[in-house]
Amino acid sequence: MKVDAGEFAAALAPGAVLALAGLGLGAALAATLAPGEREALGAMLAPRATLLLLAWAVLAIALGALARRAYAIWVRQPARLAEAAQALLAAGDAMREQPLPAAAPCAAGARALADVADALARQRDALRADIGAKVQEAARGIEHERSRLAALMSELTQSVVVCNLDGRILLYNPRARLQFQALSPTAGAELVGLGRSIYAVFDRQLVAHALESVQQRLQRGAAQPSAQFVTSSRAGRLLRVQMAAVRDPSAAPGDAAQLSGFVLMLHDITREFEQDSERDRLLHALTEGSRSSLGSLQAAVDMLELPDLDAPARERFLRVVREEVRSMSARIQSLAASASESLKTRWPLEEMLGADLVQAAQRHIEARSQVRASASDVDPGLWLRVDSYALLQALASLAARLAEEFAVARVQLRLRREGERAHLDLVWSGTPISTETAMGWETDPMTVGDEASPLSVRDVVERHGGAFWFQRERARQESFFRFLLPPAQPQEQLEAAALLRSDSRPEYYDFDLFRTGAQARELGERRLVDLAYTVFDTETTGLDPAQGDEILQIGAARIVNGKVLRHECFEQLVDPGRSIPAAGISIHGITPAMVAGQPGIGQVLPAFHAFASDTVLVAHNAAFDMRFLQMKEAATGVRFEQPVLDTLLLSAAASPQQASHDLEAIAARLGIPVLGRHTGLGDALLTAEIFLRLIPLLAAQGIHTLDQAREAAQRTWYARLRY
Amino acid sequence: MSRKPAPQANSAADGEGSPVNCKVLIADDEPNIVVSLEFLMKREGYDVSIARDGQQALDAIRRLRPDLVLLDDMMPLRSGLEVLQAVRADEAVAGTRILMLTAKGRETDIAKGLALGADAYVTKPFSTRELAERVRRMLSP
């Protein structure tokens, strides 16, 4: 136990004071006494000097102990209390485990003070925990709402893309992703992605113009300002784009012009537009073409009416009439042949899988009548363009009438494709009905139970630009009503398949990108955590591109805002245009059969280049992969000019003491499970995980920015060279 | 300016009521309409010439200086509207009276034709009697 100077002084002080007082008293006495008396006193005291000294010593020790205790109580303890309180003030909750050291002996006032300080600290900690809990709760709430929004978006059948003012994508839904895939000559992964620029798809000026008009409308006080534009994509699709503003919620209510981003809703109108133009063209041909002919006809007829016409002139005008009538007939004929499809079906029809419609019809019929309905001979791949509800009503009403009037107990539904049309049949056995009855049913308003519809079956059929009739198959003793319906392109099957692949919760949004603005700083000065990366890996036929080795596969993943976007990957096999050495096949597993029919590097590299645009490239032993990419610069015309980071070198910079920096060793060190190695994408994803965990390790070494990381990598590279 | 009611077509055969010796150019690539127009205009007593396309029409206007042109719009080489603009821009023939006689019958087409300087705009089909009347009025001093 250490004794501090103050305590020591306090303990000695009473003894010293007593000694001084005794000596002083002695001196004063001596001065007042006569020499004889002095001697007598001396003689009297001398033999008792030991006693006096002893008494002094006892008193000094007793008083010293008292003084020391007083010091402890009045000086040292309050000082310790103050120190502890100070620490309490500075420290967080970790310190709270130790109570204030008030248990040591101290004055009642100090103890009370200590208790109060302790209570205050407790109160503060409770408040702090409370705030923490509230913040967490709020964050959870926000996260919850965000995922609800994302879920909602993913269900929308309309394409939605949300961007910040820089045009960076913060959210897109699966529909938008599909739409962009249709826009792109390749897979479209390079067009839509979190943090990507929307200007890769749309002309910047066009978007800026729309944004400006939205802003103007906002300033004029429009409640829901939006703008529209139509644009065509590089792949020739025509898109109608509706833009709405995302207002900055923190802006003052009066300050309407504060935008923080915009929402784009996309609608592919290529087909509608083609149909409209075709309709226009036909209409135009019909009106103006006919006008000319009618003009000639009318003039010739007028001339023919003249009484003084001679025979040759009459013949001449008759010939005009004949010719024009013939040409008009031909025109109408060809028009009728070509126009029937596009001139009809103005009614908004939806595309639906035929099998789904049949299934719904079965339920609809059975729920509304006594008839048992079954399906047979249903083409599983047939898509229809239908007004499904009206069609279900028509089927149910027909089935109900069959049951009521002809006691039909079971019906069958058939659906198949016949040329350009689909046949939807309502079939029953026995009890044939007369054609007149069938005609009546076609034109009567539909009723099923208490549900009456103003529509007749014929109305429903006309809505579809279709046809309807009753037919008998004597051989099979069957009768059926047949609906002739327009089929649809089976494109949505692809979409459904694409949607199914999203197993986990997709990363289709990242609202944190709203905050990134002001990125004017040089790329090199930006922090590693803020940058977007394309982490990639190539599989190759061998190790030396200069000796003719070629890329077999490119796999890449994106990192935006410190997250690996597993739904925005790039994975493409490449036809190397040469043989694949057997030695390599055991490593990468890519056989000649797998690359047969795959695109060549000339197509894949530009797509990968677009995928990686605006990002920093990351690869493990990047020099190897970059060499292969650079060898192809001349042939493909794409250059990878963005910065490149190498996880091998960065790992060496982050943990210089480690001997091995191969992918598996680093993964094991950082506790990353290794799955699916040696596929381009598998390695890229692993590298991405490693890279994300290297960033904090690098920060611990004082490496924060891209430039610093590149310098560090270079140093380790030279360091490794020396070994 | 008041006018006599239009005479019957047959009574116009002898040229009575129409300004005689007026030159009329018919510019149309459709022979079936030209045949009737030519017959009609000759019957009205005019000196008729024919152009089969826009370029011929412009050349004929410059060469023959017709008093009136019946001008179709959709013709090879030059459209009727191009011819119209060229005529109005050429000082020597700018005063030529031009009647557009075309199958383009939309409001916008008519407005455009008149704005570009057509004196009249008639859409096909038309009544020959009314056309003859109109031509006669346009050629009256």
Of B105, B125, B129, the CB nearest to A297: B125
**Are residues A683 and A588 part of one domain?**
yes
Closest CA to A370 of A414, A412, A411: A411
Read off the pLDDT of residues A97-106 as tens digits, 9 standing for 90 and up.
455 555 555 6
Read off the pLDDT of residues A631-656 as tens digits, 9 standing for 90 and up.
888 888 888 888 899 998 888 888 87
Establish if A517 touches chain B: CB-CB under 8 angstroms: no
Establish if A325 touches chain B: CB-CB under 8 angstroms: no
Instruction: Give the pLDDT confidence score for residue A688 in this predicted structure.
Output: 93
- CATH code for the domain of A197: 3.30.450.20
CA of A204: how far to CAs of A173, A178, A191, A194, A198, in Å? Answer: 22, 22, 14, 18, 8
Give dist(CA A276, CA A613) in Å, integer: 37
- CATH code for the domain of A476: 3.30.565.10
Q: What are phi and psi of A304, to 5 degrees?
A: -60, -25
Task: Confirm whether B11 is domain-assigned.
Answer: no
Q: What six digits make up the tokens of A692?
A: 């994300």
Is A303's CB within 8 Å of B30's CB? Answer: no
Instruction: Give the pLDDT confidence score for residue A565 in this predicted structure.
Output: 86
Task: Confirm whether A572 is domain-assigned.
Answer: yes
Establish if A280 touches chain B: CB-CB under 8 angstroms: no
Residues of chain B positioned with their CB less than 8 A from the CB of A303: 36, 39-40, 128
Task: Confirm whether B44 is domain-assigned.
Answer: yes
Return the percentage of chain A with pLDDT > 90, whole number.
9
DSSP annotation of A621 reads T
Establish if B114 touches chain A: CB-CB under 8 angstroms: no
Instruction: Give the pLDDT confidence score for residue B63 in this predicted structure.
Output: 92
Instruction: Give the pLDDT confidence score for residue A204 in this predicted structure.
Output: 80
Phi-psi region of A419 (alpha: psi -120 to 50; beta: other; left: phi over 0): left
Of B9, B13, B126, the CB nearest to A295: B126
Is A295's CB within 8 Å of B129's CB? Answer: no
**Are residues A296 and A264 part of one domain?**
no
Q: For A320, name the nearest residue in chain B, comparing CA atoms only.
A: B32
Establish if A434 touches chain B: CB-CB under 8 angstroms: no
Instruction: Give the pLDDT confidence score for residue A493 in this predicted structure.
Output: 44
B120 bridge partner residues? B99
Q: How far does B118 lie from chain A, in Å, by closest CA? A: 19
Instruction: Give the pLDDT confidence score for residue B74 in this predicted structure.
Output: 86
Residue from B74, B102, B104, B128 whose CB has the most chain A CBs within 10 Å, to mutate = B128
Residues of chain B positioned with their CB less than 8 A from the CB of A306: 9-10, 43
* Contact yes or no for B124/B103 (Cβ under 8 A): yes
Q: For A310, name the nearest residue in chain B, comparing CA atoms only.
A: B39
**Are residues A322 and A214 part of one domain?**
no
Tell me the CB-side half-sphere exposure of residue A75, using CA atoms within 13 A: 13
Is B124's CB within 8 Å of A313's CB? Answer: no
**Are residues A696 and A592 part of one domain?**
yes
Establish if A318 touches chain B: CB-CB under 8 angstroms: no
Return the percentage of chain A with pLDDT > 70, whole number.
86
Instruction: Give the pLDDT confidence score for residue A347 in this predicted structure.
Output: 67
**Are residues A387 and A366 part of one domain?**
yes
Q: What six digits make up the tokens of A548?
A: 């003719």
Read off the pLDDT of residues A361-399 as tens digits, 9 standing for 90 and up.
998 898 888 889 999 889 888 888 888 888 888 999 999
Instruction: Give the pLDDT confidence score for residue B18 in this predicted structure.
Output: 52
Task: Confirm whether B5 is domain-assigned.
Answer: no
Task: Confirm whether B3 is domain-assigned.
Answer: no
Q: For A316, name the nearest residue in chain B, comparing CA atoms only.
A: B35
Task: Confirm whether A114 is domain-assigned.
Answer: no
Active-site residues of A, by number, are 678
**Are residues A635 and A688 part of one domain?**
yes
Give dist(CA A238, CA A202) in Å, integer: 12
Q: How far does B62 lie from chain A, in Å, by closest CA? A: 27
Is A307's CB within 8 Å of B33's CB? Answer: no
Task: Confirm whether A221 is domain-assigned.
Answer: yes
Give dist(CA A108, CA A98) in Å, integer: 21
Residue from A296, A308, A319 whose CB has the most chain B CBs within 10 Å, to mutate = A296
The count of structural domains within chain A is 5
Q: For B122, name the nearest residue in chain A, comparing CA atoms only.
A: A295
Task: Confirm whether B14 is domain-assigned.
Answer: no
Read off the pLDDT of residues B118-135 as tens digits, 9 standing for 90 and up.
999 998 888 888 899 999
Read off the pLDDT of residues A610-621 as tens digits, 9 standing for 90 and up.
888 888 999 998
Instruction: Give the pLDDT confidence score for residue B7 in this predicted structure.
Output: 40
What global pTM score does this model have? 0.50
Q: For B39, name the nearest residue in chain A, comparing CA atoms only.
A: A303
Give dist(CA A158, CA A32) in Å, integer: 118
* Residue-range definition of the domain harbouring residue B106: 20-139
Give dist(CA A194, CA A628) in Å, integer: 28
Task: Confirm whether A121 is domain-assigned.
Answer: no
DSSP annotation of A75 reads I
**Of residues A676 and A491, more confidently modeled:** A676
Instruction: Give the pLDDT confidence score for residue A183 in this predicted structure.
Output: 64
Task: Confirm whether B135 is domain-assigned.
Answer: yes
| Domain boundary pick from A51, A80, A97 | A97
Instruction: Give the pLDDT confidence score for residue A198 in this predicted structure.
Output: 85
Strands A644-646 and B23-27: unpaired
A456 bridge partner residues? A445
Read off the pLDDT of residues A223-276 as tens digits, 9 standing for 90 and up.
677 788 877 766 667 778 888 888 776 666 555 557 788 888 888 777 777 777
Task: Confirm whether B90 is domain-assigned.
Answer: yes
Instruction: Give the pLDDT confidence score for residue A556 in this predicted structure.
Output: 92
Read off the pLDDT of residues A411-420 as tens digits, 9 standing for 90 and up.
999 999 888 7
Give dist(CA B79, CA B57) in Å, integer: 10
Residues of chain B positioned with their CB less than 8 A from the CB of A298: 124-128
Is B124's CB within 8 Å of A306's CB? Answer: no
Establish if A292 touches chain B: CB-CB under 8 angstroms: yes
Q: How far does B86 lie from chain A, in Å, by closest CA? A: 24
Instruction: Give the pLDDT confidence score for residue A521 in this predicted structure.
Output: 55
**Are residues A479 and A357 part of one domain?**
yes
Per DSSP, the residues of A264-280 read EEEEE-HHHHHHHHHHH
Is A291's CB within 8 Å of B35's CB? Answer: no
* Residue-range definition of the domain harbouring residue A326: 273-343
**Are residues A698 and A550 part of one domain?**
yes
**Are residues A572 and A692 part of one domain?**
yes
What's the rounded mean pLDDT across residues A160-181?
83
Instruction: Give the pLDDT confidence score for residue A712 in this predicted structure.
Output: 87
The count of structural domains within chain B is 1
Task: Confirm whether B6 is domain-assigned.
Answer: no
